[in-house]
Structure 1
Amino acid sequence: MRYTEEMILRSSSGYCMPFEEPIKQDVQMSLGYGEQKNPVTGETFFHHGIDFSVNHYLLSAVATGTVSAIGSDAEHGIYQTIRYGKYEVTYRHLSNVFANFSQSVKAGQTIAISGDLLHMEVRFDGEEINPLEFLTMLYGNIKALEHNSQMGINELDMNIPSPYDTDRQEIEALMLRFLPSYFEDLQQGAYSLPEHTEQSLRNIFSLGASKHYFYETMPSMANPLGIGNRCMPLATKVQNLLIADFLNYLAMRHQVYLSTMDEVLKKNSKSKP
């Protein structure tokens, strides 16, 4: 499964598993997700989660969330479900729970204790997914955050010249003042992106997708599209197009111009439709 930006769950605690493994001892997954064969009867059945051989282990929340269900049934015993945004993670075969229904929990907080094993299920927006893929995504995101903290904001080399470098401070000041109006006018249709700008953006993103620039690395908070340095020339083009459109908006809607713009360019911008 390829995780979209919406599906990336952030866990700043460093936890990517529901329990902490003992030192020098790996915890084995005793039963995987999907089609499985009963070791006793030999019959094939569909396993809706994954099982771990953990006897009375302390179990933790993997991110900040809320307890959305607690109960018990004949097949799985005591269970507890934690909601993390659109995710719901359920622990079954529990011997006790420490976080009650509707209680808020933080990443790494102890919320339950397993029985003789742990059965784990995961759903996203109501759809069942493989819990192993979910845990792998958490692990990769945590490693990306660790790497980013060592490298700074992110691993990308942003020192690429731009035609707007000399006006950077003035443009940033204008953005602080006018960006809310810019987005509001776009949303309400009071200002439309010029056709040539929209087509240029489409071409850039199509080219990026065809060259597999997106999700080249594990997406993270600092880099939600997972782009690397290979993508920087395209990212710079997008940046320049959006800055140019913002300046076009200022001229068309507010008659505001950069102080470095000469009178001929101002006159030409006023005559644009």
Structure 2
Amino acid sequence: MRVANPIGYQASYDTESILEAIRFGKQNGFQAVELHLLSPNFQPERINSAERRAIRDENFILLFHVPTNFSFFIDDKIRLATIERLKEYIDFAEELAAYAITVHLGRSMPLATQGKTLRTWELWYEQEYERLYSSLKDIGTYMQGKRLFFCIENTSEMRYPLSYEVLESLLPELPLYLTWDIGHSNTLDHDEKQREEAFFLRFLHKVKNVHLHDNWGKVDEHNIIGEGNINWGYYLELLDSKERVLILETRPRELAVLSMKRLLNVWHHNNKLTK
């Protein structure tokens, strides 16, 4: 089985600079790195023009992950400020000739009542639908003409019924794309997993980034490849494409190196994992 996909790792708390992240990737046989913008070391304001030129000159595949405290479901003033900051991240990634930027939709707010939790989307469905639709349409319009892929990841908020409705409406008409986190899908119960996988199979042409990490089907553990029950051979064959980057989301980064070795074993041994 050939290896078509570029393989990368995610840099976060264990990396001091973007250039260091790139050099670690090159030294360890990766072809890409996803930079998590939770790290203050990767913030646009910290990277001067000379560093930006040096980063571009490395000619290495870059991806970005937006901080996970963003939300498209909250109060309009905060939501709109979030979108403006997101556009600044998009411009930064575009300037560095990055391949993709990934975002979580952000959670609808919880309300505890009588021993259970309600989400605001359950109470005010139409308003939350409109907020999400408006937010993604704004971003999708902003992305027109850009080389960068704006990708939405399958975290819990993507599974709200209104989220599926919005995405199914906007994905066909706007330059919005997907990040498929295989580990996240594996934690779902049977029916929800089938629903999520059916969605991704329907929009497989929109998947530009894939997050890889293992677990035993219950908790999002971010284990190294092989420390779980995911059928990697199936997914690698399904997602085989030079236009999809595979990001090993195991931390610290040394574990991503081990995960890559195990992943390559899947390819080299006819889709069977050997440790």
The question of a shared fold, defined as TM-score above 0.5 by the shorter chain, is answered with no
TM-score, scaled relative to structure 1: 0.18
Which of the two has greater strand per residue?
1
Which protein is bigger by CA-based radius of gyration? 1
TM-score, scaled relative to structure 2: 0.18
Structure showing greater relative contact order (alpha-carbon pairs closer than 8 Å, 6 or more residues apart): 2
Which of the two has greater helix per residue?
2
